[in-house]
Structure 1
Amino acid sequence: MAMSPCSAVLLRFLTLIFVLITSWIIIQSYISFSMKTIRLPRWLGSVSKESRVVKTKCDLSKPCPNNFFAFKILSGAANVVGPSICFEDRMIMSPVKDNVGRGLNIALVNGSTGMVLRQSYFDMYSGDPMLLVKFLKEITEDMLVLVASYDDPGTKMNDEIRALFANLGSSYAKQLGFRDSWVFLGTRAIKNHSPFEQFLKNNPDTNKYEGWPELLELEGCVPQKVF
């Protein structure tokens, strides 16, 4: 028996409704399954505070609080790769800048403003140690002193130089010797030993490189006006 026009329209309408409902159920089921079984990368989902990549000054492992300066000091690696000194995201000394050398690499920074005042390196193997003595005696209480060793920091080290570094807060300057690794941040205004210092003795039994200990990396946050 032939279907009336009204019945045909109604049937098509009901079929459309059925298809829409079925499609909606399938889609919802798929989405639910996917969310439960597939862990999306963080960058595809909502970005939480924990998952955001925070750019820190000098690439520190964590940012410094307000009123603190960020710094990172790397000693040299044997006599092959030179040291580097970064302060408040400014690379003061590095092999790339071509302003580092064998011995002690030193940068002076204003402890209140963070302004870089001077940087120089002193050959402690065949250079004149009195140049370093003069440099250290001109350091004032408003300065931060950042030091990185390279190759050999100790051959020309004398008692006067050791005492000057000790007055800046160093605990290891008095034992610094041939090809030791040393990184340090200090100031004349400090009352005790600086908390920012690392030292490795040149020891054939423990050296990472042939004839030299491994490089040292020192990073941290130093408060403004530490004096």
Structure 2
Amino acid sequence: MRLAGALRVALVAAVAALPWLVAALLLGPPRAPLVLQRLLTRPESSGTAPPRPPRHPCGLSRSCPPGHFAFRLLSGAANVIGPRICLEGRELMSSGKNNVGRGLNIALVNGVSGALIAAQAFDMWAGDNEELLKFLRPLHEGTLVLVASYDDPATKLTDETRRLFGELGSAAAKELGFRDSWVFVGAKGVQDRSPFEQHVRNSRSSNKYEGWPEALEMGGCVPRRAPQPS
């Protein structure tokens, strides 16, 4: 009797489900609401990634015209963050390269090819100014000189050193003072003042950091030197 009762229940359930089965076969499986379908449907890929903005050497906002070098200089921030000198996308001096230090950080570059000639830091607080003179005196015509200060750039500077920087196109070297911020690009043999120079004085009333002025950042395009006829 129990088995017969169970069979009757199963038969009733099958008969009740028959209309739903027929409807499913005729109309297809139930579909989710349109809004839900849109949320669940992944957009088709176009196969191409969105274009990336162009990258220019040394992080400049645009590329330099032909016959120019792209450069960027950052002076040190107080006595905490070191300076940086970049030319044509190459780090010439930086904390990451472990070749910067307190004082004046100077990179000498071939003005025709852009090749690095030398890069050195000169301590102008406790160092020897004579070492800096030996570095600057024998420069060849057309050599580019890129300078970034860090901490104190001036205490050991002599009149001769300031004059040599002036001959490279600097207007600020003659008055550079204790803990001033200074960035500069000049060249051996220039006839006029360099347009690539920034200088901020150390002033208690206007310093950004306690005891130091703000750090400086300067970028641009410096003309290549024309090759000398052989």
Structure 1 runs, 4 residues or longer, greater than 2 Å off:
none
The aligned residue for residue 61 of structure 2 is 61
1:134-161, CA deviations, whole angstroms, 9 ceiling, x for partnerless residues? 1110211121000000000010011000
* Mapping for residues 43-54 of structure 1, pairs under 5 Å: 53-54=53-54
Q: Which moved more, 1:136-145 or 1:122-131?
A: 136-145
Q: 5+ residue gaps in structure 1?
A: 1-44
Residue 168 (structure 2) pairs with residue 168 (structure 1): yes
- Give the distance between the partners of 2:192 and 2:68, measured in 1 at CA: 19
The aligned residue for residue 199 of structure 1 is 199
Residue 150 (structure 2) pairs with residue 150 (structure 1): yes
Q: Report the secondary structure of 1:166's partner residue.
A: helix
- Give the distance between the partners of 2:226 and 2:181, measured in 1 at CA: 26
| TM-score (ref. length: structure 1) | 0.77
Q: Report the secondary structure of 2:58's partner residue.
A: helix
1:168-226, CA deviations, whole angstroms, 9 ceiling, x for partnerless residues? 00000000010000000001221110000000000010000000001000101011116
* Mapping for residues 1-227 of structure 1, pairs under 5 Å: 53-225=53-225
Per-residue deviation, 1:46: 11
Per-residue deviation, 1:81: 0.4
State, as a whole percentage, how many aligned pairs show the same letter.
Answer: 56
Q: Report the secondary structure of 2:130's partner residue.
A: helix
Root-mean-square deviation (CA), in Å?
Answer: 2.1
1:61-118, CA deviations, whole angstroms, 9 ceiling, x for partnerless residues? 2211111110001000000000000001000100111110000000000000010110
Which structure would you say has the larger Rg? 2
Residues 226 and 188 from structure 1, CA distance in 2 versus in 1: closer, same or farther, beyond 3 angstroms? farther
- Give the distance between the partners of 1:202 and 1:133, measured in 2 at CA: 25
| TM-score (ref. length: structure 2) | 0.76
